[in-house]
Amino acid sequence: MKPFQDPVGGMSTVEWEALSADRLYSSYRWLDLTASSMAGAVHGRTPAGALAAMPISVADDGLGDFYRWSDQLAPRGLVAPPASGVLVGPRRGYQSHLLSSPGADPVAAAATVLDGLSSLDDVPDGAPRVGMYLDTASVVAFRSAGVRSLPVLLRADAWIPVPDGGWDDWLRSLPSRSRAELVRRERRKFEAVGYEVTDHPLSDWVDVVGQLLTNTEAKYGHSTDPAARRAFLGRQADCMGPAARVLLCARPGEPPVGYCLYYLWGDTLFLRSAGFDYSRLHNAAEYFNLVYYLPVRIAAEAGAHWIHAGVEAAEAKAMRGAQLRPLWLLELSDGVLSDQDDAIRAANTALVTELTGSSSAVRTAWCTTAADDFGITPTEPA
C-alpha cells in the first residue's frame, strides 16, 4: 500500500465510494477536491475480511485554522502534540468517520486503521497521528481498539431530522408550539416581500455566489478575497459536478440577494455555505428561509431524512429542531494527550457548560449517547 499516491491511497474509486456511502466529506470527489500533495488514505482488511479505511494528510500550511490541533488545544489549557504530524480524516468539512464495510466489527476496523497509521513510510518516526472532527462512534471504536488518550470535544455538529411527512410533519416535530409559530412568522415575512427562489448548478453561478460569500465572510471578520472564494467554488463545481447545487433568492427582475450551496448526498442534504448582499435585504428572515426552511422541503421531496447544518450557530439550529452531536479530536498515536485525562475532562465539561449554560434549546438538543465518560454531560447552570 502506498498511502499518498492519490486521495484514497490507491484503493479503487468504486471500493472507496462503497465505504464512504452517505458521508459527503469522506467521498472520493470531496477528497480529490481538497487534496494536498501529501494527502491519501490508509486502508486494509480486518481478520474477517472487511475493508476499513480513513483519509489522511501530512499537516502543512494549507490546513485551515480549525484543523491545526495546537491552535485548538492551547486555548483549552492542554499540551498539544507536535504540529508536524498526520491529520486523520478529511482536510475540510468538519466531519470525520471511521469507514468500513457494512456489518464490519467497528473495533476490528479501528484496529486495521491504527495498524496502517503506525507503518507510514513517508512520515518521520514519532510524528503524531491526530484525528479531528471525529464522530462519537468512531472515537468509541478507536478507544476500544487500544487508543489511550481521551477525546477532546471540538464543536457541536447540527443535524436536522426530516420526517417522511415533509414540511407539515417537520413543523409538528419542533420541540414547542412557540418555535413552530416562529417558523411560520418567518415564512410569512419572506413570502410577503415577493422573493423568488430558484435552484441551479453551482457551475452556472460561481462569480455571483463568490461575491455573496465574500460579503458574508467579511461580515464575520474572515478573509475578504473574492478571487480565492471564486476559485474554490469553481473547483467545487468542477470536482463535484451536478451534485453541487445553489438556491438563489431574488425579487423578480433583480440580481440575487442571497444564495445557499447544498449537496444532496445519500440520505442527507448537506448545507455547505451561504452568502448575502446585506444592503438589499428586507429584514424578512432571508437567512433562515434560504438555509433551513427551503432545504427542508427539498430534502423531503428527495426522500432524504437529514439535513446536515454544520458547526456554527448552535442555538439557532437547535431552535429549529436540530440535534447537536459532539465532534472530537483524538490522538491516535501514543503521545502527550494520553497523560491528560483530568485536564481533558475539565476542558470538555467547560465547553459543554458554555454551549448549554444559557440556552435550554441547546441543552435539549445535545446528544451524548455513548460519550458520558468523556466529560460532556451538561451541568445545570448556576
pLDDT score for 175: 80
Residue 215's domain is classified under what CATH number? 3.40.630.30
What is d(CA 377, CA 84) in angstroms, rounded to the nearest whole number?
A: 32
| CA atoms within 13 A of residue 211's CA, in its CB half-sphere | 8
Instruction: State the chain's mean pLDDT as an integer.
Output: 93
Domain membership flag for residue 319: no
pLDDT score for 330: 98
What is d(CA 27, CA 45) in angstroms, rounded to the nearest whole number?
A: 19
pLDDT score for 371: 60
Enter the DSSP assignment of 108: H
Number of domains in the chain: 2
What is d(CA 58, CA 5) in angstroms, rounded to the nearest whole number?
A: 13
pLDDT at residue 27 above 60? yes
Q: Looking at the whole model, is its pTM more than 0.85?
A: yes
Work out the average pLDDT over 130-157.
96
47/135 same-domain check: yes
What is d(CA 326, CA 87) in angstroms, rounded to the nearest whole number?
A: 19
Domain membership flag for residue 2: no
pLDDT at residue 382 above 60? no
Domain membership flag for residue 5: no
223/113 same-domain check: no
Question: Which residues constitute the domain of residue 240?
Answer: 163-304
191/293 same-domain check: yes
Domain boundary among 274, 304, 334: 304
Domain membership flag for residue 120: yes
354/369 same-domain check: yes
How do residues 224-264 score in pLDDT, each as one tens digit?
Answer: 678 888 999 999 999 999 999 999 999 999 999 999 999 99
pLDDT score for 258: 98
185/285 same-domain check: yes
Work out the average pLDDT over 350-373.
81
